[in-house]
Amino acid sequence: MLDTDQNAASAHDGLAEAMQPAAFQKAVNSWVPHDIVLKDAWFPLAHSFAVTAKPVRRSVYSQPFFLWREEEKAVAAECHPHDADRGETSAFSDARGRYPVLEHYGYVWGWYGNPANADPAHLPSIPYLPDDGNLPRHMLGTVRFDCCAPLSLENLIDLTHSDFLHADVVGDEKMDKEVVEVFYDTETITMVRTCTNKSVAPIMKWFGGVKDDVQQVRQVIRIYLRSHAAIAYGRFSPGDNVQLFHPCVPETRDRTRLDYAMNTSNVKKTNPFRYMMPKASYKVSRQDSSMTSPQSPRYMHPESRRDLHSPLDEAGQKYRVLMLALAERQARGDFAYLDNVSGDCSAIIGYDGK
Ligand SMILES: [Fe+2]
C-alpha cells in the first residue's frame, strides 16, 4: 500500500503521462462526456434567495436534492420533508436522508458524494462574489441547457467561439493579436486570452458608454472540474470589468442548470451596463444552446471520430483530458483532492479587487 504522499505523486505523474502527445490525442478523441460522473464535490444548487421555508427541488445526475430552511439554516435532503420517513436512504446522505450542505457566495451548495468526505476546503474560490452573497436580484439569473454539463463548459473555455456566436453582444473576431495561455492542476483549468485592439463589444457601446472602436481585452475562464463551476472574468480597457460566476450543474447527464451571478457592483450606478449586462446572459445562453444542444447527443456514444481543433482551443482539449484523468482516478476508488480549490485564486485570474 502506498502512503498518501506517494499516491499523490503517482497521480500527478499520471497527469504528466496523460498530457504526452499520443495519450493526449487518444483521450481527446475518445471523449464521451455523458459517461463521466464525478463524485465528492460541492454543487451550487440554488441562489440563497430561492431557498426558503418552502422546499424546492433540485437534482444532480437525476438524484433529488430538496432544499429548504429550518429557522435560518439551509437543509438539503433526498426527500421532501413530508416523505422523510420513507425509511431508506442512499450512500450520499446520512441516516435521516440529509446531505452535507453549506451556504457561501450567495448560493446553497450541496455535497454530491460520500458525506464523510464533505469538507468546506473543497469549495471553489470565487474572489469577486461576496462571501455572504447579498447581491441584488438583477445580478442573478437562471438559464438551462439541453446539453451535458462538460460540453457546456468545454464550449465556454474555448472563448474564441464568442467572437462568432455572440458577436452581436460581446464583439466580433477583429483584432490585431490574440494570445491564449492555459494553466491547470488536477482539479482546475484556467484559460487566459489576451486580445490586442479588439472590436469593442456592442453591449459596451450601447449601454456601457464606450466610445472607442477597439479595446484591450483580457478574458479568463477558470473551471473547477468536479463542481462543474466556472469563473468568467473579463478586463476591458476602455470599459468595465465583467465578473461572472457560471456554474453548470448537471441536473441529469444531458441537462444543465446555470444559476449565474454577474457582479456588476464595480460599474457606476448611473451606467445602464450595470443593469443590462447580467440580462445579456439570457440572449447569450440561447446562442450557446443553439450550438451545444444538437451537439450533445452526438457525444453520447464512443465512435471513431476525429474532432477538428485549432491551436486556440488547447484549453478545451486539456479540459477533456483532465476530466478523464479525474474520472479514471475515481474509478480506481481514489477520491482525494490532490490540489486545493478553495485557496484565493485572485492572482491566478488577475483580479485585483476592482
Ligand atoms: Fe458562449
DSSP string for residues in 188-229: EEEEEEEEEEEEPPHHHHHTS----SEEEEEEEEEEETTTTE
Q: Hey, how many other C-beta atoms are within 10 angstroms of the C-beta on 196?
A: 13
- Higher per-residue confidence, 310 vs 321: 321
Structure confidence at residue 311 as a pLDDT band (50, 70, 90):
confident
- Higher per-residue confidence, 1 vs 320: 320
Spacing, Cα 159 to ligand 1 middle (Å): 7
Residues 235-249 have pLDDT tens digits of 999 999 999 999 999
Residues 39-57 have pLDDT tens digits of 999 999 999 999 999 999 9
Structure confidence at residue 86 as a pLDDT band (50, 70, 90):
low
Mean predicted confidence (pLDDT) in 8-35: 79
The pLDDT assigned to 129 comes to 97
- Given the DSSP bridges, would you call strands 56-60 and 63-70 parallel, antiparallel or unpaired? antiparallel
Cα angle for residues 347, 349, 350 (degrees, 5° grid): 60
The pLDDT assigned to 302 comes to 79
Confidence check: pLDDT of 1 > 50: no
What are the φ/ψ torsions at residue 23 (nearest 5 degrees)?
-65, -40
The pLDDT assigned to 2 comes to 38
Q: Hey, how many other C-beta atoms are within 10 angstroms of the C-beta on 90?
A: 10
Spacing, Cα 185 to ligand 1 middle (Å): 24
Spacing, Cα 288 to ligand 1 middle (Å): 5
The pLDDT assigned to 87 comes to 66
Contact 29, 305 (CB under 8 A): yes
The pLDDT assigned to 207 comes to 83
**108: β partners:** 46, 103
Spacing, Cα 195 to ligand 1 middle (Å): 17
Confidence check: pLDDT of 6 > 70: no
Distance CA 65, CA 108 (A): 11
User: 437543509: which residue's cell?
Assistant: 75
Spacing, Cα 274 to ligand 1 middle (Å): 20
Spacing, Cα 286 to ligand 1 middle (Å): 9
Helices (H), 89-238: 149-157, 160-165, 167-170, 202-206
Percent of the chain surpassing pLDDT 70? 95
Residues 127-154 have pLDDT tens digits of 999 999 999 999 999 999 999 999 999 9
Spacing, Cα 275 to ligand 1 middle (Å): 20
Spacing, Cα 186 to ligand 1 middle (Å): 25
Spacing, Cα 8 to ligand 1 middle (Å): 35
Contact 69, 75 (CB under 8 A): yes
What b-and-e string marks burial along 1-32, b requiring 16 or more CB atoms within 10 Å of the CB? eeeeeeebeebeebbeebeeeeebeebbbebe
Spacing, Cα 93 to ligand 1 middle (Å): 35
Confidence check: pLDDT of 269 > 60: yes
Q: Any long-range contacts for 151-155 (C-beta under 8 Å, 24+ apart)?
A: 151/33, 151/292, 151/295, 151/296, 151/299, 152/248, 152/256, 152/258, 152/288, 152/292, 153/223, 153/228, 153/230, 153/248, 153/319, 154/33, 154/316, 154/319, 154/320, 155/288, 155/291, 155/292
Residues 90-107 have pLDDT tens digits of 899 998 999 999 999 999
CA distances 219 to 69, 157, 271, 347, 349, Å, are: 37, 10, 22, 14, 9
Contacts of 76 (CB under 8 A, 6+ apart): 45, 65, 66, 67, 98, 99, 100, 101, 108, 110, 111
The pLDDT assigned to 10 comes to 54
Spacing, Cα 283 to ligand 1 middle (Å): 10
